[in-house]
Amino acid sequence: MTAVSVIGPDGNTAGKTVELPEEIFAAKVNVPLIHQVVVAQQAAARQGTHSAKTRGEVRGGGKKPYRQKGTGRARQGSLRAPQYAGGGAAHGPVPRSYVQRTPKKMKAAALRGALSDRLSHGRVQVVSGFVDGDVPRTKDAIAVLAAAVGFGVLDRPIRVLVVAHRDDEITWKSLKNVSRVHVLTEDQLNTYDVLASDHVVFTEQALTAFVTRGVGSASSKESATSRSASLRASGTTERSAREGGDRA
């Protein structure tokens, strides 16, 4: 476990810390894997609606420009051939999908690696809240960000990724118009946005939800794996175990 100080709405830590699980924030940083996942994410964002007309799709060009022989010039069949201005494109772009298949385990491993890299450089911070009260206030939120990342957010060209809970409307309204600050929910956190930001700032509520979601899925997989292993050791299959439970 790695302990990180929690910054309050007043900009002070008050001695409060939170533990970051090592399986998420101290994972192996696999650079080729992270690169593959980021490239796939950027490729999936492409519309793929580009299109160019071929010589058969361009209007006109039905008449032969001049006779086949006797002019001394190269033979031509249409003014809409690719070598003419206004002609069709040869091997031009056609609509296509750029989506690359990326397994969920690869995405999760890349995200863990990106978060671990940011934490190893001291660029993961946790705040208990950005505003003290029930009214959104951008000035107070910027002051908390400045205390979290170590310098003024608006004074230097840095990008800050804020991970807030979906129900935290005060944080969303306080930071939605701040330049170079990108706000995401914990279930929207992805590798590209982590790497595109200089600092990652979690709210305490969002961090709890993110860690619970990630560790919970891992523990369920581990329990399922251990159960399958115990059944194999006893000579019983999953299907027979279920059937036996149904009969009982």
Task: Give the residue with greater pLDDT, 223 vs 85.
Answer: 85
Report strand pairing: 2-7 vs 17-20: antiparallel
Q: Please report the pLDDT score of residue 223 as a whole number.
A: 42
Q: Each residue of 24-62: pLDDT tens digit?
A: 999 999 999 999 999 999 999 999 999 999 999 999 999
User: What pLDDT does 13 receive?
Assistant: 74
Sequence-distant (≥ 6) Cβ neighbours of residue 91 within 8 angstroms: none
- Determine which of 13-22, 48-57, 133-142 has the lowest per-residue pLDDT on average: 13-22
Residues 6+ apart with CB under 8 A from 208: none
Q: What pLDDT is stored for residue 222 in this prediction?
A: 44
Measured CA to CA, the distance from residue 58 to residue 60 in angstroms comes to 6
88 versus 132: the higher-pLDDT residue is 88
pTM: 0.76
pLDDT given at position 86: 93
How far apart, in whole angstroms, are the C-alpha atoms of residue 169 and residue 172? 5
